[in-house]
């Protein structure tokens, strides 16, 4: 009996627990579109629409578009002019999310040109939408108009053109302006802002053809973002979490693209696949240019790794090719796929498509781009620019029509040729076809090789001219020295001449190298030391100099600061470290660099630094210059006093 009572009590407790647990489970997930429909009033629905994160999770953008269209009709029947404008605003946003930029900007422009009665925050959002549409349509002068409207309305005081400059190919100018304006506004505690900042700098460098330098910025951005997401003490809104995860996907994709450009194909796959997954998860239902670029990058990585079937899966993944450069890349990759499987006829077909695009639309887009570059940089009359762009659009339409007609004629000729060739033997036909394909491939290879040779020659000529100009500056300083009586002025001019020579030597090494992207530091340091030593002939021959930098290669952005730092240190050693001209004077220069970390060390066994050298740091030109150059390398100079002499060292990336 007691046992039965115990079982009964346990059963009652379990039922009560399950009942309580069941009450905490939601009956169904919230449907955003239904809640949107149930919201009263056009303005309230507008606020709900823009405040809803991932509104396309459960219902597609087309479902939202149908619902908004119905509300527009109801507002028109009720003659609710304000409601119509709010619904048209939402409709414009949905078209933008679908990648239909022409329809989106047309609706937004009509709303802005009418007396819409919107509040300033709504007008600001409308101008942002117009700005984004014009950017996607590459109408950059229209973007400038929109940003001027925002300044006139008091929405913003300063208007920036970083993205416009970059889209027009001025990546370095965009990066410099962005650094000058934005870096000082981001506090060290703003991890999300630092992640966005470093990612943007990396994008400018990647587009400018410096993937190795860009990779360092993307890696730094990724680290900041990981700390931001992992910090449980920081309160984050759902929108901030979604934005951070989407940014993480973009950064992962940028790292993958850097790895691809650096021919590290295996490593690129993991980053690109993770990026694709994150963007799809946190940008549901919204068209994304990043998604197209990452998909094409995955296809290229698999082709480079001889995985044509995996590449084909990504090429056939229903990506929307809205930009001419994406279409050209897609055709090139598809041609590479058919080449890998031996289908040379279809490979030739895709190569011909690219040739036709490059001869027509691509050429016209290039002309349009040049016109817009003149309009943006020279700040010319925007009405005149609009007329030029309209003319270019009409020319592009005519070119498309001519291209379609040419395709029809080519098709007719091809059909006639097929019927003619049917009378010939299969072996002869296959032989002629093989020769044709080989000739086409040889022509493409010849064009590419000539372009590369021309590019290398131009770069070498640039470095040669820079070196000559710097030598001319050095000669001018020498002439000035002869006409100067002040000892202090002569010393200053000599120091300036020595620094100019150090920079000129960099450019000399570059145009003498086969690889124009990096400088072999062992030979450069030896030449630099010999140059400095020739200035201090007296006593310098008794100093034993050891250089340990074998195998270290640096790009020009790092090599120039290193050259100037070494020039200062070696000159100081010759001038001050060995006043008695002893035979046992020694200088040791050590430089090492692995993939992510570098180390520099300079020591001499001279008389060392004076006791009050710390008080002279702010007044010494040489020490101030060295500190600034080390800061430019994103590091801090360390100075150690030793029993004999002094040691300078720092780490760098």
CB atoms within 10 A of CB 414: 9
- Say which CATH number the domain at 629 has: 3.30.565.10
Q: Is the pLDDT of residue 149 over 50?
A: yes
Q: What is the pLDDT of residue 309?
A: 92
pLDDT digits (tens, 9 = 90+) for 171-181: 888 899 889 88
Rounded to an integer, the average pLDDT of 75-81 is 91
Query: Does some domain include residue 142?
Result: yes
Q: What is the pLDDT of residue 201?
A: 93
pLDDT digits (tens, 9 = 90+) for 520-550: 889 889 988 888 888 776 555 678 899 999 9
Query: Does some domain include residue 278?
Result: no
DSSP string of 423-446, one letter each residue: TS-HHHHHHHHHHHHHHHHHHHHH
Query: Does some domain include residue 475?
Result: no
Cα(216)–Cα(198) distance, integer angstroms: 9
Q: What is the pLDDT of residue 352?
A: 82
Ranked by mean pLDDT, the top range of 377-386, 392-401, 600-609, 618-627 is 600-609
* pLDDT band per the 50, 70, 90 thresholds, residue 459: low
How would you class 335 by CB atoms within 10 Å of its CB: exposed for 0-12, middle for 13-18, buried for 19 or more?
buried
Residue that wins the pLDDT comparison between 634 and 436? 634
Q: What is the pLDDT of residue 2?
A: 44
Q: Is the pLDDT of residue 195 over 80?
A: yes
Q: What is the pLDDT of residue 463?
A: 59
Residue that wins the pLDDT comparison between 417 and 223? 223
Q: Is the pLDDT of residue 99 over 80?
A: yes
Least confident of 23-32, 239-248, 454-463, 628-637: 23-32
List the structure tokens of 256.
């993958």
Task: Using alpha carbons only, give the angle 156, 158, 143 rounded to the nearest 5 degrees.
Answer: 80
List the structure tokens of 329.
């890349």
Q: Is the pLDDT of residue 378 over 50?
A: no
| Mean pLDDT score of the chain | 80
Last residue of a domain, one of 159, 175, 208: 159
pLDDT digits (tens, 9 = 90+) for 233-256: 888 888 888 889 999 999 999 999
- Please give the torsion angle defined by the CA atoms of residues 353, 354, 359 and 363, in that order, rounded to the nearest 10 degrees: 130
Q: How many domains, in total, are found in the chain?
A: 2
Residue 557 is part of which domain span?
518-652
Query: Does some domain include residue 335?
Result: no
Report how far Cα 54 is from the mean position of its chain's Cα atoms.
26
- Residues contacting 123, CB < 8 A, separation 6+: 112, 116, 153, 155
pLDDT digits (tens, 9 = 90+) for 583-629: 678 899 999 988 778 999 999 988 888 777 776 666 677 788 888 98
Strands 646-652 and 598-604: what pairing? antiparallel
Last residue of a domain, one of 108, 131, 159: 159
Residue that wins the pLDDT comparison between 649 and 482? 649
Query: Does some domain include residue 253?
Result: no
Q: What is the pLDDT of residue 390?
A: 60
* pLDDT band per the 50, 70, 90 thresholds, residue 478: confident
Q: What is the pLDDT of residue 6?
A: 42
Q: What is the pLDDT of residue 260?
A: 92
Residue that wins the pLDDT comparison between 49 and 353? 49
Least confident of 12-26, 73-87, 633-647: 12-26
- Residues contacting 427, CB < 8 A, separation 6+: none
pLDDT digits (tens, 9 = 90+) for 486-506: 877 777 777 777 778 777 777
Cα(294)–Cα(216) distance, integer angstroms: 19
Residue that wins the pLDDT comparison between 323 and 261? 261
Q: What is the pLDDT of residue 274?
A: 92
Residue that wins the pLDDT comparison between 205 and 406? 205
Q: What is the pLDDT of residue 398?
A: 77
Q: What is the pLDDT of residue 461?
A: 65
Q: What is the pLDDT of residue 263?
A: 92
Q: What is the pLDDT of residue 11?
A: 40
Residue that wins the pLDDT comparison between 162 and 17? 162
Rounded to an integer, the average pLDDT of 63-68 is 92
Q: What is the pLDDT of residue 348?
A: 87
Least confident of 55-64, 90-99, 416-425, 537-546: 537-546
Residue 546 phi/psi, 5° resolution? -115, 125
pTM to 2 decimal places: 0.51
Q: Is the pLDDT of residue 224 over 60?
A: yes
As a whole-number percent, the residues of the chain with pLDDT over 70 amount to 82
Q: What is the pLDDT of residue 583?
A: 61
Residue that wins the pLDDT comparison between 188 and 10? 188
Q: What is the pLDDT of residue 27?
A: 32
Query: Does some domain include residue 404?
Result: no
Last residue of a domain, one of 112, 132, 159: 159
Q: What is the pLDDT of residue 5?
A: 42
Query: Does some domain include residue 508?
Result: no
As a whole-number percent, the residues of the chain with pLDDT over 90 amount to 27
Q: What is the pLDDT of residue 19?
A: 40
* pLDDT band per the 50, 70, 90 thresholds, residue 25: very low
Q: What is the pLDDT of residue 452?
A: 60
Q: How far apart are the first and last CA of the chain?
A: 79
- Say which CATH number the domain at 141 has: 1.25.40
Query: Does some domain include residue 50?
Result: yes
Residue that wins the pLDDT comparison between 499 and 306? 306
């Amino acid at each position: 009996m007691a046992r039965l009572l115990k079982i009964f009590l346990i059963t009652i407790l379990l039922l009560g627990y399950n009942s309580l647990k069941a009450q905490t489970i939601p009956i169904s997930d919230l449907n955003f579109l239904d809640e949107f429909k149930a919201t009263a009033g056009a303005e309230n629905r507008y606020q709900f629409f823009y405040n809803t994160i991932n509104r396309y999770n459960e219902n597609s953008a087309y479902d939202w578009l149908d619902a908004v269209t119905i509300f527009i009709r109801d507002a028109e029947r009720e003659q609710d002019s304000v409601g119509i404008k709010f619904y048209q605003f939402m409709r414009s946003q949905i078209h933008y999310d679908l990648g239909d930029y022409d329809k989106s900007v047309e609706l937004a422009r009509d709303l802005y040109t009418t007396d819409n009665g919107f509040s300033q925050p709504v007008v600001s959002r409308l101008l942002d939408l117009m700005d984004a549409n014009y950017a996607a349509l590459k109408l950059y002068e229209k973007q400038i108009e929109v940003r001027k409207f925002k300044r006139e309305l008091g929405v913003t005081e300063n208007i920036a053109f970083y993205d416009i400059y970059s889209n027009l190919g001025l990546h370095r100018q965009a990066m410099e302006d962005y650094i000058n304006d934005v870096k000082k506004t981001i506090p060290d505690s703003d991890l999300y802002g630092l992640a966005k900042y470093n990612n943007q700098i990396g994008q400018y460098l990647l587009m400018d053809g410096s993937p190795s330098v860009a990779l360092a910025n993307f890696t730094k951005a990724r680290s900041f973002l990981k700390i931001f997401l992992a910090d449980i003490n920081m309160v984050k809104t759902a929108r901030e979490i979604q934005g951070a995860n989407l940014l993480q996907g973009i950064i992962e994709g940028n790292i993958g693209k850097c790895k691809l450009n650096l021919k590290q194909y295996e490593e690129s796959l993991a980053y690109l696949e993770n990026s694709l997954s994150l963007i799809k998860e946190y940008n549901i239902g919204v068209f994304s240019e990043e998604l197209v670029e990452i998909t094409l990058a995955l296809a290229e990585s698999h082709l480079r790794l001889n995985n044509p079937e995996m590449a084909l899966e990504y090429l056939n993944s229903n990506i929307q090719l809205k930009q001419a450069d994406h279409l050209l890349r897609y055709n090139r990759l598809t041609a590479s796929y058919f080449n890998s499987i031996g289908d040379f006829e279809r490979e030739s077909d895709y190569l011909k498509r690219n040739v036709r695009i490059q001869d027509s639309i691509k050429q016209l887009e290039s002309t349009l781009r040049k016109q817009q570059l003149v309009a943006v940089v020279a700040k010319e009359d925007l009405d005149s620019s609009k007329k030029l762009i309209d003319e270019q659009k009409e020319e592009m339409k005519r070119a498309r029509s001519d291209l379609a007609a040419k395709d029809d004629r080519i098709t007719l000729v091809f059909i006639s040729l097929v019927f003619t060739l049917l009378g010939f033997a299969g072996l002869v036909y296959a032989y002629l076809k093989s020769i044709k394909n080989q000739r086409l491939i040889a022509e493409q290879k010849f064009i590419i090789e000539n372009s590369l040779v021309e590019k290398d020659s131009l770069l070498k000529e640039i470095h040669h001219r820079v070196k000559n100009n710097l030598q001319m500056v050095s000669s001018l300083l020498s002439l000035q020295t002869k006409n100067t009586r002040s000892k202090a002025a002569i010393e200053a001019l000599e120091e300036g001449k020595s620094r100019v020579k150090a920079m000129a030597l960099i450019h000399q090494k570059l145009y003498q190298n086969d690889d124009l992207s990096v400088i072999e530091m062992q030979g450069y340091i030896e030449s630099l030391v010999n140059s400095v030593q020739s200035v201090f002939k007296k006593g310098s021959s008794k100093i034993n100099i050891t250089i340990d930098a074998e195998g270290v290669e640096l790009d020009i952005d790092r090599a120039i600061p290193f050259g100037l730092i070494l020039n200062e240190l070696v000159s100081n050693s010759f001038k001050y470290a060995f006043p008695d001209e002893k035979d046992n004077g020694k200088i040791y220069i050590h430089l090492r660099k692995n993939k992510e970390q570098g180390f520099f060390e300079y020591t001499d066994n001279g008389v060392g630094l004076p006791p009050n050298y710390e008080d002279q740091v702010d007044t010494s030109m040489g020490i101030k210059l060295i500190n600034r150059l080390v800061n430019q390398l994103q590091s801090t100079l360390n100075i150690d006093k030793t029993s004999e002499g002094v040691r300078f060292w720092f780490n760098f990336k």
